[in-house]
Structure 1
Amino acid sequence: MNDKKRAVVFAYHNVGVRCLKVLLAGGVDVALVVTHQDSATENIWFESVISVCEAEGIPYITPDSAKGEGLLAQVKAAQPDLIFSFYYRHMLPAELLEIAPAYNMHGSLLPKFRGRAPVNWAVLHGATEIGATLHEMTVKPDAGAIIAQTAVPILPDDTAHDVFGKVEVAAEITLWRVLPDLLAGAAPRTINDLASGSYFSGRKPEDGRIDWSKPASEVYNLHRAVAPPYPGAFTDIGGHRYIIERARLARRPLPSLPPGLAVVDNAVFGVCGDGRALAITSLLADGAPITPSELSSRLAKATNS
């Protein structure tokens, strides 16, 4: 008799890949994977859940929405004992959650940073710690009881991409440690105290626009939060868009210069409202690298025009 637990898995991105592999290594019978087709308009820097399914011979589908009778019927037909969501981009409706106990992996230490883009928001707010949380799924996002979580540090110069790499590992560790108890129906549950946490919505590329009047620490956190492969922190000057690719907080202040981009001793700086600056080691102009001398010429033309 086959006593393996059957699961339907909603998954995407690196966390989806890692957690799907944990389920397989843990002896779970993955009957169906629901994922996304990669968007032609998105910078795809992450691994493919579809590739894992094809390599492992797992049936998968890529519906446009998590709603609809067709998807509901396919999930029911799989007869899952458990449902998992690992960085799937759509909320699962109540009809799906009623089929079997459902669990989601969220990229923060719930109840902090509930909602979309938790890593980016955590870096933007100067958080020093984040992690991954496996929790029961409810219709309300990231509100179900906490099953397990693992913390990782956010170092002062980590970008969101750096931190996301840590969260991937935290998600894998979290699921691996609790999976035996979860399959045995003996996993612990902790109340998810939403009143003590925080909720954030999604982010848009426009949210990366720099306000140079802000203190350097805030501008630096914005850069770290959206640095490539995310869209990047940017400023528009003279009809050109400049995106900061790499930067650090400058050791010396530049109080004599007005806020904005500047070139000093053949080096690029972003001067902020408190007189401190970002030392920019890689700057993109309309998508292409620009040298300090080229930028200096452009800034002079913009000032004189």
Structure 2
Amino acid sequence: MTDSQPQRRPRAVVFAYHNVGVRCLKVLLAGGVDVALVVTHQDSESENIWFDSVISVCDAEGIPYITPDDAKSPTLLAVVRAARPDLMFSFYYRHMLPAELLEVAPAYNMHGSLLPAFRGRAPVNWAVLHGAHATGATLHEMTVKPDAGAIVARMEVPILPDDTAFEVFGKVTVAAEQALWHVLPALLAGTAPRLHNDLSQGGYFGGRKPEDGRIDWNQPAQTVYNLHRAVAPPYPGAFTDIGAVRYVLQRARLYKPNNKHNYNIAAASLRPGLTVVDNCIFGVCGDGRMLAISALTADGEPITAQQLHTRLAAAASGQ
């Protein structure tokens, strides 16, 4: 009797960053995948790094990693080819992979929405901004056209009325981990499903910039509230400028009158924008409804209702 040869583990090159990158990389390792190389990013000093580190996972697990600036560089292509992967994965890697890289091995991307909805950049933020009631994570085949390949797995999560994008992103991270975990055995066996990704539905969305958080108080309150939820900290935040001062909403809720407080009558006589009523900060919107603001900063520093009242009074009098 001869000893059987040990079965070779499937080998992968993984492009990964952010929390989804960390969790999905760990799923591959737990699923027996030989991760030969990780391609990731160095953290930017200009960015608020509130998420987990893929590099830390690589260091802990002894996985080789590189941080190229250009996904289209011939050097990166040569390194990936040399790794001889059976599969490639992209988990929140920030660069588009060119056709030459995608030809190295079958490649799969984890996208933070229920494709085909919210294709493109910042899908969680866009879903919250548009008032979606659900989103999720989708693993799909990678093509040169972004988020257009056949769907391999999806996992849905709810978006509750007061959820911020940060809270929803936490759910989407778990959904991505679960979606990959459940489909990984079939994916490695070559029996994973291939569902149609109907690009006539949904749409593409671009990246978001801090300036996109500027509030138009003439909009309905629900629209303004959705903007706040979509960019609330640790994202840059929804903001309004009064004179040379920038006020950023840190915490707010859509105000709902009750028996104890009913300020909507007062709002009808107030101009849209920040105001103070009974030592409470509100944002009056174009439809007469308001946001109750429980935390506000002025040029980066916390400001109280009394301080804001004094500033608003001075601005109104032209001082």
Gaps of 5+ in 1: none
1:100 correspondence with 2:113: no
Letter matched to residue 250 of structure 2: E
Matches within 5 A, 1:150-165: 150-165=155-170
Matches within 5 A, 1:72-91: 72-91=77-96
**Residue in structure 2 matching 1:292, options 284, 288, 305:** 305
Secondary structure of the residue aligned to 1:281 is strand
Secondary structure of the residue aligned to 1:99 is coil
Secondary structure of the residue aligned to 1:18 is helix
For 1:270 and 1:251, how far apart are their aligned partners in 2? 13
Secondary structure of the residue aligned to 2:23 is helix
Q: Deviations over 1:30-49 (max 9, x none)?
A: 00000000000000000000
Using the size of structure 1 for normalisation, the TM-score is 0.99
Q: Aligned residue for 1:304?
A: 317
For 2:7 and 2:54, how far apart are their aligned partners in 1? 26
**Residue in structure 1 matching 2:292, options 271, 279, 296:** 279
Identity of counterpart residues, as a percentage? 76
Matches within 5 A, 1:166-245: 166-245=171-250
Q: Aligned residue for 1:262?
A: 275
Q: Deviations over 1:190-244 (max 9, x none)?
A: 0100001211011110000000000000000000000000000000002100000
Structure 1 residue 288 displacement after superposition: 1.0
For 1:190 and 1:267, how far apart are their aligned partners in 2? 51
Letter matched to residue 292 of structure 2: A
Q: Aligned residue for 1:46?
A: 51
Matches within 5 A, 1:9-28: 9-28=14-33
Number of aligned residues = 305
For 1:304 and 1:118, how far apart are their aligned partners in 2? 43
Q: Deviations over 1:146-190 (max 9, x none)?
A: 000000000000000000000000000000000000000000000
After superposition, the CA RMSD in angstroms is 0.6
For 1:255 and 1:166, how far apart are their aligned partners in 2? 38
Letter matched to residue 310 of structure 2: S
For 1:144 and 1:205, how far apart are their aligned partners in 2? 30
Structure 1 residue 55 displacement after superposition: 0.2
Secondary structure of the residue aligned to 1:195 is coil
Letter matched to residue 111 of structure 1: P
Structure 1 residue 302 displacement after superposition: 1.0
Secondary structure of the residue aligned to 1:171 is helix
**Residue in structure 1 matching 2:149, options 131, 144, 149:** 144
**Residue in structure 1 matching 2:60, options 47, 55, 75:** 55
Using the size of structure 2 for normalisation, the TM-score is 0.95
Letter matched to residue 265 of structure 1: D
Structure 1 residue 2 displacement after superposition: 3.9
Structure 1 residue 65 displacement after superposition: 1.4
